[in-house]
């Protein structure tokens, strides 16, 4: 059996996960809460397997660890791994997939409902004592919209987008599936993104961040949306131009937005969407994926990946 080291356990395990399967899948497992770049090579040492989430493994690091044979990424994205260097060294890179489908789709729908019911505004009004001062039994200062019969435009109708679409349909919404931005033709069952924008009561983003999708939601698009529409982003921050969105919300060009991702995370130097004067905006800290169930699935998939590799089989292989 192999020796494994986990370099950034705290990005996955808050002390609430069962790691026994992972521990029993290798001869030894050494874990570190976090690892700084200067300590990576020393901590990997002579391990056969390294398990990482966001720790960067450069070509230099991979070359400096001659015993390394398997890199297990406890996420889907592998942009923190020099996959070319790994391939040249015959180091397998595997990842985890579709672990957060239910968690992320639930989060997106929760944002959709909260924005349309003005849930946070009403809760804050009660905390501020405004209901106690109301002349009537109820307090209806914020417009409430029913989502049944609304049109939801799904941008990125893959695993996650499909799950959101199914949940939305159960709530009585009409779902439109956007064609990939930049595509030369619109496939049957899809709609052109720009043509569909004026029809949408809500836009939910589940596409990757690419040259075609960077700043996809910008000032021009926002101006063409219904003033009652909302935007939800649980994909990547750069898909939305954050300054444009903040301005559009302040001007009332759209009715609300829910963002689980920002261009820079954590937002150390602030962000246009963190201002306190933006109406009907919900920002969550890239937490949509993070249910305990989803995080435990990552552990399970990592165990499966290691077991398959030890048996000479391919499972969730990137390179």
Which are the catalytic amino acids?
Answer: 236, 265, 286
178 in helix, strand or coil?
strand
Q: How many CB atoms lie within 10 A of CB 128?
A: 10
- Cα-Cα end-to-end distance for the chain: 22
**What is the rounded CA–CA span in Å between residue 62 and residue 41?**
8
Strands 174-177 and 281-283 turn out to be unpaired
30 in helix, strand or coil?
strand
- CA angle at residue 86 from 84 to 90, to 5 degrees? 115
177: phi then psi, degrees, rounded to nearest 5: -105, 115
């Amino acid at each position: 059996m192999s020796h494994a080291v986990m370099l950034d356990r705290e990005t996955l395990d808050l002390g609430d996960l069962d790691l026994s399967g992972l521990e029993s899948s290798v001869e030894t497992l050494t874990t570190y809460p976090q690892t700084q770049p200067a300590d990576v090579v020393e901590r990997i040492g002579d391990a056969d397997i390294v398990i990482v989430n966001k720790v960067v493994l450069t070509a230099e690091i991979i070359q400096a660890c001659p015993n390394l044979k398997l890199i297990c990424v406890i996420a889907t994205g592998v942009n923190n791994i020099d996959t070319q260097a790994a391939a040249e060294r015959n180091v397998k890179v595997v990842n985890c997939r579709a672990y957060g489908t239910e968690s992320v789709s639930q989060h997106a729908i929760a944002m959709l409902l909260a924005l349309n019911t003005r849930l946070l505004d009403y809760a804050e009004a009660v905390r501020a004592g405004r209901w106690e001062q109301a002349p009537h039994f109820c307090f209806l200062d914020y417009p409430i919209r029913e989502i049944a019969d609304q049109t939801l435009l799904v941008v990125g109708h893959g695993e996650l987008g499909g799950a959101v679409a199914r949940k939305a349909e159960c709530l009585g919404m009409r779902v439109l599936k956007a064609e990939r931005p930049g595509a030369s033709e619109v496939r049957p069952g899809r709609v052109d993104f720009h043509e569909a924008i004026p029809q949408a009561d809500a836009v939910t983003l589940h596409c990757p961040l690419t040259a075609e999708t960077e700043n996809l939601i910008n000032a021009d698009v926002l101006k063409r949306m219904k003033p009652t529409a909302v935007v939800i982003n649980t994909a990547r921050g750069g898909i939305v131009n954050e300054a444009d969105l903040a301005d559009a919300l302040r001007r009332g060009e759209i009715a609300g937005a829910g963002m689980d991702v920002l261009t820079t995370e954590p937002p150390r130097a602030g962000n246009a969407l963190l201002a306190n004067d933006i109406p009907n905006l919900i920002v969550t800290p890239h937490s949509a994926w993070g249910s305990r169930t989803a995080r435990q699935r990552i552990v399970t998939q990592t165990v499966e990946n290691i077991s398959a590799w030890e048996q000479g089989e391919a499972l969730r292989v990137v390179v």
